[in-house]
């Protein structure tokens, strides 16, 4: 009886916290909306000579924003569009190169996080943008940004002289992150950003498009590299064993086991990663053995998309490659930790599947886990191999699997999956 009372007390507390989240988000967004209308009282211009699209983004952040940015291009076909981004720290991989050569983006301005601390740190950037005299400024906000960060970029847009601006929306409250995971069903990032653009009056049919600049040269290079590495493109699958945060990592030996099972099934395995991931990817490919090869550091981002387009399946972590696979229409199995709000970063599409285990310390937002990546180690090899087999046997990536894509709520309920709780022994 005491245990039941404790359970329902927890449920009521979680429900109250979720209502607080909704109320605070509504209040914060009302403040942002009112301030925006005060700063830019006019209606959205029907035409514009120059448009700033402001999207701070690492690789995954940029990929999920492309459909919204492209919707803006379609609404303003003759405008000069400048993408302003600060993707990573100086010296790290440059995600904006995914759009190098895209004829629908006129200019990409890249800054780095270390250069832009607070409003004062952004002044050189603001002076640079002010010289461009933007008619329109579209903010494509990151999911995790606080109200204060959104206010700073709104003021930056006003100081930069934008004649009209839109897009500031808060989508999460850090203090209630666990309640959001337990009680709220969030849209994918692709849907969230398309909704923001649609609210501005931009026509959106919510059928995302990723017009990436892949050319015949890219395709020929990838085909030649596949042949050079001795793989078979007609039965190609990919593994992406690396992630930006240590908390999102799955044990390397488990990727090796998955790869060996796929090779035993007659598949060729491409191990994907950036140049910084070369050592890990080479190790995984070598341990899998014949039928596997590492492509880490050998492909540009556009060439990686071409390779993924050739793959029947990608098995990845919560990282950029899962979103590239979604953009290319390639079925993907994503192995998720519990560090972020549930469902916030699941990849787009019905051919995207998520395996995630529920633990008491969920939604910690930590980059490094103090509990030895407990939630990731609860994901066992057999369930990944089983789901991979079902996806590969299905014709369209999901119809025959018997498993719902994305994050079905029943898979991650509050206090209901005892086998996936934090006090379980990791597999």
pLDDT digits (tens, 9 = 90+) for 171-208: 877 777 888 888 888 899 999 999 999 999 999 877 89
CATH architecture of the domain 21-199 equals 3-Layer(aba) Sandwich (3.40)
Residue 288 CB partners (closer than 8 Å, separation 6+): 256, 259, 260, 263, 269, 271
DSSP states of 364-377 as a string? ---SS-TTSSHHHH
Give residue 205's pLDDT: 77
Q: Comparing C-alpha atoms, which of 277, 224, 276 is closest to residue 255?
A: 277
The model's pLDDT over 334-359, given as tens digits with 9 standing for 90+, comes to 999 999 988 889 999 999 999 999 89
The CA angle 230-235-240, to the nearest 5 degrees, is 80
All CATH 3.40.50.2000 domain ranges in the chain, comma separated:
216-420
Of 161 and 424, more confident = 161
pLDDT value at residue 24: 86
Where do you find CATH 3.40.50.720 in the chain?
A: 21-199
Domain 216-420 has CATH 1.20.1260.10: no
- Digit-coded pLDDT (tens) for 365-400: 899 999 999 999 999 999 999 999 999 998 544 433
Q: What proportion of the chain, given as a percentage, has pLDDT over 70?
A: 85
pLDDT band per the 50, 70, 90 thresholds, residue 303:
very high
Residues 6+ apart with CB under 8 A from 222: 299, 303, 306, 307, 310
Residue 408 binned pLDDT confidence (cut-offs 50, 70, 90): very low
pLDDT digits (tens, 9 = 90+) for 257-275: 999 999 999 999 999 999 9
CB 70 within 8 A of CB 64: no
pTM of the model: 0.87
| CA 102 to chain centroid | 20
Is residue 162 within 8 A of residue 136, CB to CB? The reply is yes
6 pLDDT tier (thresholds 50, 70, 90): very low
């Amino acid at each position: 009886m005491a245990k039941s009372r404790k359970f329902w007390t927890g449920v009521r507390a979680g429900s109250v916290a979720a209502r607080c989240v909704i109320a605070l988000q509504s209040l914060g967004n009302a403040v942002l909306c009112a301030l925006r209308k005060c700063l830019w009282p006019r209606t959205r211009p029907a035409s514009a000579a120059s448009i700033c699209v402001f999207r701070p983004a690492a690789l995954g952040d940029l990929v999920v924003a492309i459909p919204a940015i492209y919707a803006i291009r379609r609404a303003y076909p003759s405008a000069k569009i400048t993408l302003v981004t600060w993707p990573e720290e100086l010296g790290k991989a440059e995600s904006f190169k995914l759009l190098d050569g895209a004829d629908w983006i006129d200019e990409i301005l890249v800054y780095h996080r270390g250069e832009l601390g607070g409003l004062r740190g952004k002044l050189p950037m603001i002076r640079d943008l002010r010289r461009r005299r933007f008619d329109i400024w579209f903010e494509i906000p990151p999911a995790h940004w606080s109200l204060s960060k959104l206010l700073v970029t709104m003021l930056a847009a006003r100081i930069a002289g934008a004649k009209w601006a839109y897009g500031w929306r808060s989508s999460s409250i850090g203090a209630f992150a666990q309640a959001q995971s337990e009680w709220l069903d969030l849209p994918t990032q692709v849907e969230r950003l398309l909704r923001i653009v649609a609210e501005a009056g931009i026509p959106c049919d919510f059928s995302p498009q990723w017009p990436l600049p892949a050319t015949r040269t890219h395709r020929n290079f990838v085909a030649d590299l596949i042949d050079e590495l001795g793989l078979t493109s007609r039965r190609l699958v990919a593994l992406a064993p690396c992630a930006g945060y240590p908390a999102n990592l799955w044990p390397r030996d488990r990727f090796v086991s998955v790869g060996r099972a796929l090779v035993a099934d007659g598949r060729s395995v491409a191990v994907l990663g950036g140049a910084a991931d070369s050592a890990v990817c080479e190790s995984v490919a070598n341990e899998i053995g014949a039928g596997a090869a590492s492509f880490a550091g050998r492909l540009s981002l556009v060439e990686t998309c071409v390779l993924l387009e050739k793959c029947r399946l990608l098995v990845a972590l919560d990282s950029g490659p899962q979103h590239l696979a979604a953009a290319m229409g390639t079925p993907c199995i994503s192995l998720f930790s519990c560090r972020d709000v549930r469902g916030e970063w699941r990849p787009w599409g019905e051919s995207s599947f998520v395996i995630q285990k529920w633990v008491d310390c969920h939604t910690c937002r930590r980059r490094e886990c103090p509990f030895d990546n407990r939630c990731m180690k609860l994901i066992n090899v057999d369930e990944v191999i089983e789901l991979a087999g079902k996806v590969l046997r299905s014709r369209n990536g999901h119809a025959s699997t018997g498993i719902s894509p994305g994050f079905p709520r029943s898979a991650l309920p509050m206090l209901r999956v005892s086998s996936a709780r934090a006090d379980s022994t990791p597999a």
